[in-house]
Amino acid sequence: MDLLEGLNKAQSEAVTSTEGYIRVIAGAGSGKTRALTRRFAYLVNEAGILPGNILCVTFTNKAANEMRQRIHNLTGDNDTGYINTFHGFCVSVLQEDSHAVQYPKSFLVLDNSDIDAMLQIIYDERGLTLRDRTFSAARDMIEMQKLFKRPDYYEDMIAMSLDKLKEKYDQATATDDIIFYGYLYQEKKCFGLDYNDLIKFSLYIFKEHEDIRLKWQQRLEYIMIDEFQDIDSLQYELMEVLCGYHKNLFIVGDPDQTIYTWRGANVKYLMDFDKNFPGTKTIMMMENYRSTPEIIAAANSLIDKNENRIKKELIPKLPSGEPVVCHFAETQEEEAKWIAGQVRFLKQKGISYRDMTVLYRAHYVSRAIEQAFIEAKIPYTIYSGVQFFNRMEIKDALSYLRMIVYRDDLSFARIVNTPKRNMGKRRMDFLKAYAEEHGKSLYDSLKETIDDPIFKGTKAKAFISLIDSYSMEYEGRPVSEVLSKILNDSGYEEMLRTEGSQERLDNLAELKQSVCEYETTCGEEIDLESYLRHIALFTNADAEDGSDRVKLMTVHASKGLEFPYVFLCGMNEGIFPSRKVMTKQGMEEERRLAFVAVTRAEKELYLSEADGRNLDGSPRYPSRFILNIDPKLLRFTKEPREGLIKSAREYIDIVTSRMPEDDSWMFFEEGQRVRHSIFGEGTVTCVDMDKGAHIVVFDGIGTPRRISFKAKLEKI
């Protein structure tokens, strides 16, 4: 086939530019994957380059597999060279040259479950608990140590004997040191490498062994890197090494789609590429073949509000379509019902459910949408997530309510040991045998046998007392009050706080809000039994089978995908943009994320938000990202109520004025001396990332204070 057939001028230039440093700025929907695969095939079919001498780096394994298949179809060659992620490529390097670090070719690549299993061994050996450090926090700490605090750690792993590492682990006294050196010891013990190790070990080999470095440099005659806006410092360093011989480097990226700085991505590598590699040829691919001109105009208007970007505009190539629709609802439930109504309307027009997608900033936002879809009998599937009412913490909370009313075996088995009450398998087997022999429920069996020695050392009596007291007192009390109180009294929420499970706590807050709203809707006649019968309709998740379903997903999960009809919901301040954004730099990333969401839509785009109040009583405002779009480019379902936009802009201006440019001043390490404008001088003893605060002991105050990241501390 003619590899240039159907390509526009910029795409053809990208495919045929083979030598030197080439930067392609590729806007959303501009056909960059097509250009990359055609260029690979052009090098093989036209230039005669062997596939094994080409490295093509993608951001995900899924993207690598798809690109591999496309290139195979274009070249007909089963050898598709090195088409991989950076980490996948490093596995190839280490499989060939692991002898240089005294590791076998059969080393183990560790995932999070492997790391957690190692942490469990360390915790058991050294008497640590989740109160000392959750596994999630421990994994984050290990990564921070490897990337920033002890970047030369890999030299210990390579040079130290297993016995020496064990000695460092045994001698460690601080929690961080115990976990870190215990983990390095466990890694070396099984010849395991995590994602950070793969690149660090490869770079070490290239640095220490010139012959191996030169072998790989000479082998890789052409290097292509996709999604270059998402590259981090280690990947950049590896790239610099690999292209050092032939100096043929082709990169593709869009600075307006940088949404992973929290994972270490640095858009400056793309923006400053021509400065770091003199003689770079830059190709602009701006023609969009995905979305209608109306959607593109809204996307251009939105992203233009970012100041730190390469000024550019997407150029639509599709025929004109429908205006972007914007709906201001009075409540979350009304917003969800409106979306459900629009979905049904589109379905009646002959559009398949599978062509419709609902996007949101965080999973908890899906609760109201799911509820509205089930009531409307709209089939849906959650992409890269779990249905709201099927999430562990929601099922646990509802099981506590069911135990109060029904004391059924399913609920009992689910929560009797959640949180831990020493009711393990042996004791549950005893109860099951007694219940079967006497024809009793598990709960009644526990009450009848509570004095048996087998329950000594458990918290079974406290559990019985909890359930019995609520069973006698729940009638006449609001369901929302019962739910909040039992989650507290049972220790369930405390367990989640101890684990650091903020997302699960957010989901419980969303459940509480849904109960409050249900009570408001139904009036005084609502009681616990009625609520449980009502909610059973949603927990059954009995939507019809079949693949024709509306897709629900987060915006992050939608990156790289496209959908004919997109509903972008929850467009409120504090939701999208997230309430966790604390800097102007962070806000620009949130706007890029909104840009990614908008540019997923092909034919029609619907934006929606909900007025009313948040759970803490504060008013809800429409997202600044709606206000960033020229109102002439939007078709409002109804005019926003008087004063709403003005109030929203005033609120946004106040919030933005308090934001620093970036977080360079924000985080201080433990032990850092600081000065506070009111409390004076003190010492940082801990950084609480979940709460967004430093814990500081001030010289003139006896007890510590949590000082928000928003309150600027001065380094002494």
- Catalytic amino acids? 32-33, 226-227, 257, 600
The DSSP line for 187-237 is: HHHTTEE-HHHHHHHHHHHHHH-HHHHHHHHHH-SEEEESSGGG--HHHHH
Q: Which of 626, 619, 564, 542 is nearest to 591 (CA)?
A: 626
Whole-angstrom Cα distance, residue 660 to residue 714? 14
Query: Rounded to the nearest 5°, which phi and psi values hold at 714?
Result: -100, 130
Q: Tell me the two tokens of residue 529.
A: 């039994």
Look-up: residue for tokens 């959607």? 295
Enumerate long-range contacts of 444-450, CB under 8 Å, 24 or more apart: 444/407, 446/416
The single-letter code of the amino acid at 58 is T
The single-letter code of the amino acid at 67 is M
- Burial string for 333-358 (b: 16+ CB within 10 Å, else e) reads bbbbbbbbebbeebbeeebebbbbbb
Burial of 129 (0-12, 13-18, 19+ CB in 10 A): exposed
The neighbouring-strand residues paired with 282 are: 23
My answer on whether omega of the bond before 293 falls inside 30° of 0, hence cis, is no
Cβ distance 120 to 134 under 8 Å?
no
Helices then strands, each counted (H, E), the chain: 30, 22
Whole-angstrom Cα distance, residue 353 to residue 370? 14
Residue 328's SS3 state is: strand
> Nearest 5°: CA angle at 461, between 458 and 467?
125
Look-up: residue for tokens 């007392």? 465
Running DSSP on this structure, what letter comes out for residue 641?
Answer: P
Q: From the CB of residue 262, how many other CB atoms can be counted at a distance below 10 Å?
A: 9
356-360/680-688 β-pairing: unpaired
Whole-angstrom Cα distance, residue 206 to residue 191? 20
Whole-angstrom Cα distance, residue 367 to residue 538? 10
Whole-angstrom Cα distance, residue 194 to residue 214? 25
Running DSSP on this structure, what letter comes out for residue 145?
Answer: I
Cβ distance 397 to 508 under 8 Å?
yes
390 Cβ contact partners less than 8 Å away, ≥ 6 residues apart = 539, 541
Residue 278's alpha-carbon distances to 274, 310, 365, in angstroms, are 6, 18, 47
- In this structure, is the dihedral angle defined by the CA atoms of residues 27, 254, 381 and 335, taken in order, positive or negative? negative
Whole-angstrom Cα distance, residue 353 to residue 484? 37
Whole-angstrom Cα distance, residue 19 to residue 17? 6
Cβ distance 38 to 7 under 8 Å?
yes
Whole-angstrom Cα distance, residue 668 to residue 683? 10
Residue 651's alpha-carbon distances to 10, 235, 455, 658, in angstroms, are 43, 40, 57, 11
Cβ distance 250 to 223 under 8 Å?
yes
Whole-angstrom Cα distance, residue 351 to residue 606? 15
Whole-angstrom Cα distance, residue 14 to residue 4? 10
My answer on whether omega of the bond before 577 falls inside 30° of 0, hence cis, is yes
